[in-house]
Amino acid sequence: MRSVIRVLVVDDSALIRQMLSRALAMDPRVVVAGVAKDGIEAVELAADLQPDVITLDIEMPEMTGLEALPQIRRHSDARVIMLTSVDDPETTYRALALGAVDFIPKPTAGMATSITELTDTLLKKIRVAYRIDPAQIPAAASRSSELIQSPDDAKPLAALTEHLLACVAIASSTGGPPALERVFEGLSVSLPAAYIVVQHLPAGFSASLAKRLNSISGITVQEAEDGMFLEVGNAYVAPYGKHTVVDVTAGLARIAFTDDPSVHGVRPAADALFKSVAEAFGERAVGVVLTGMGADGARGALAIKKAGGDVIIQDEATSVVWGMPGTAVKLNAGRRVVPLGLVAAEIRRSIRVRQEVS
């Protein structure tokens, strides 16, 4: 790798380009290789400059960020971070599905966030993106036909009244939204399980992620709310700002929020969720650790394993970042390490095993 990280800044606003360039200048290991004011210029400069990382605005004249992204990826190995608006998170998830590795909420002229906060967030994202092997991005984002495992045919909605036999807790971070899409495509409403997802996201993006997963899955996916009861055939996405855990009272499992301190610098944290699922469900707990930077979910996965539950970990070859799953492997927390395309099949198999012994 180079001794410095070369970044191409793309935005139609001169003010935003200036703000981002100032933020990047705060780290001597990061240099601005160039700036572009629209998608057409971004495609040309990406090919000519071959930057390591590109910050790419979504809404631009002439050619939008979504239109430019596939062309950039054809001619450059740059890792692309989208500048997005909280008002249009669905477009953000489309960009991630097209191969962007991460995103940050776009700064505005009247924003209350200080330049220090912007700098910290942006530089952290840049450094994480730079560590991603460009060869990993297509492997994680593409849908390889030989790996995709289709779910069973969905049963009638009466299946939702079956007893809840398993709780599946899923952790993901960098590269997570496209990975979650692949997993949820393969899940079936016919299985007597509920699912809870912790995906590290900025404020305001969890509800739209739930909506997107709901649109591609046979099960019902919604943003978690404090006090919700876990129901068979339903999935819950943890919102930003509070830890999401499972509480069991009088034999009924429900979602609970806590204001406990951040874990690994994040809240919600997968470790908090996983440990509560291990305690509440024991042998009926299933933990899944997908792509992501850091170590969140590893110790929680170990707690599920020690409680007699099952743990499935995404392998390195299909992970955008093998931080979280890699740490889980190092702790010997998993029972199986599999490619992303087989994760849903392993979840289904694990739930069926619990169904057979119940």
CA 110 to CA 106: how far, in whole Å?
12
Find where tokens 């969720």 sit. Answer: 273
Q: 163 an active-site residue?
A: no
Phi, then psi, of 248 in degrees rounded to 5: -115, 120
Residue type, 164: L
Structure tokens given for 248 = 């069991």
- Is the separation of the CB atoms in 87 and 126 below 8 Å? no
- Is the bond leading into 268 cis (omega within 30 degrees of zero)? yes
The single residue of 200, 243, 264, 319 carrying the catalytic annotation is 200
Q: 200 an active-site residue?
A: yes
Q: How many CB atoms lie within 10 A of CB 125?
A: 20
**HSE-up (13 A, CA, CB side) for residue 278:** 24
Q: 173 an active-site residue?
A: yes
The single residue of 13, 76, 172, 173 carrying the catalytic annotation is 173
The single residue of 57, 296, 310, 315 carrying the catalytic annotation is 296
Give the 3-state secondary structure of the chain. CCCCEEEEEECCCHHHHHHHHHHHCCCCCEEEEEEECCHHHHHHHHHHHCCCEEEEECCCCCCCHHHHHHHHHHHCCCEEEEEECCCCHHHHHHHHHCCCCEEEECCCCCCCCCHHHHHHHHHHHHHHHHCCCCCHHHHHHCCCCCCCCCCCCCCCHHHHHCCCCEEEEEEECCCHHHHHHHHHHCCCCCCCEEEEEEECCCCCCHHHHHHHHHHHCCCEEEECCCCCECCCCEEEECCCCCEEEEEEECCEEEEEEECCCCECCECCCHHHHHHHHHHHHHHHEEEEECCECCCCCHHHHHHHHHCCCEEEEECCCCCCCECHHHHHHHCCCCCEEECHHHHHHHHHHHHHHHHHHC
**Active-site residue numbers?**
173, 200, 296
